[in-house]
Amino acid sequence: MNNVNKLQSDRLKPFPNVSSLLKISLGLVLFTIISTALVYAETISVDVGGTSYNVDYTATGMTLDAIEADLDFVSLILAVSVPDSDATLDITFERSFFDSTFDGLDDDFIILVDGDEPTFTETETTTQSRTLSIDLPAGTEEIEIIGSSFGESASVPEETPVEEPVEETPVEEPVEETPVEEPVVEETPVVTTPKVEEKPVVTTPKVQCGPGTILKDGTCVLDERCGPGTVLKDGACVLDSPPVLVPAETSVKGMGKETIVAFVAAFVIAGTVGVILALISKASKSSN
């Protein structure tokens, strides 16, 4: 019996006892806890509008050197180092600090790695925070994460619009217009000359008288300026041939009493002249 117990004890010697196993287990747990703390307990501060905020992240195969906020583009810019092989960055944003929404619903973040779009996923989404996992190639230097707002606790200060001075337009006072007196033009009275009634001109038909006679009061009478039987010619009295009565240009209707009288007078004058000439001729013969 003793030999059997001795043989069993010899076989169990290479195995550690219970206390040793317990110590090993505790050591592994402590190592896991310490390694977990080293991986997931990293934070980095970022200044937004004069206020500092902590951002939780996990870097695998890389280091996160710095982070800054771009208020104009509502984005976070991360300076990283990925020396050897591909790396992964897990980063968590509190919604009250940084978020991406559209019409009240969650929207994807826009991520650029050195200007290119990388492969990324949203690994955890809660009402308080959102966690992103980003794959980074070797040699990556910059990551830009673009959202829609910095939240209520990190609101972007609004630029106060500068009011430009409004130039006051001078109000022109109405100028009283002096009434221009129009010159009074005195109206010259128009003197109306009474119209003189024109008397109709009575044209007496012209009567041509023979030598030794003149027209007087419309009838041919003996011209007494020279002696009987003579007529005035070139300023001297000369003997006149028996006068020939030239009838005036009258119409048949114009012949009347005056025309008859003119003919009778002409014959009388002619007879008288003939008698005078006969007496003169007789007197000249008797004297011889």
pLDDT tens for each residue of 217-235: 777 777 666 666 676 677 6
Last residue of a domain, one of 90, 116, 146: 146
Note the pTM of the prediction, 2 decimals: 0.42
| 26 belongs to a structural domain | no
In a domain, 11, yes or no: no
134 shares a domain with 54: yes
| Final residue of a structural domain among 131, 146, 161 | 146
Residue 197 lies in a domain: no
Q: Is residue 222 part of a domain?
A: yes
Q: Is the pLDDT of residue 180 over 90?
A: no
If one compares 31 and 239, the residue with the highest pLDDT of the two is: 239
pLDDT band for position 55 (50/70/90)?
very high
- Which position has the higher pLDDT, 251 or 280? 280
Pseudo-torsion of CA 234, 236, 241, 246, nearest 10°?
50
Last residue within a domain, chosen from 93, 126, 146 = 146
Task: Please report the DSSP string for 166-225 in residue order.
Answer: PPPPPPPPPPPPPPPPPPPPPPPPPPPPPPPPPPPP-PPPP----TTEEEETTEEEE-TT
- Structural domains of the chain, count: 2
- The reply to whether 128 and 222 lie within a common domain is no
Inside any domain, residue 196: no
Nearest to 77 by CA among 131, 139, 145: 145
Q: What is the pLDDT of residue 207?
A: 62
| Structural domain contains residue 276 | yes
- Distant-in-sequence, close-in-space partners of 49: CB < 8 Å, separation ≥ 6: 71, 150, 154, 155, 156, 157
HSE at residue 47, side-chain half, CA atoms within 13 A, is 3
Only one residue has tokens 């809660």, namely 126
pLDDT of residue 103 exceeding 80: yes
Domain hosting residue 140, numbered range = 44-146
Rounded distance, CA 252 to CA 250, Å?
6
76 found inside a domain: yes
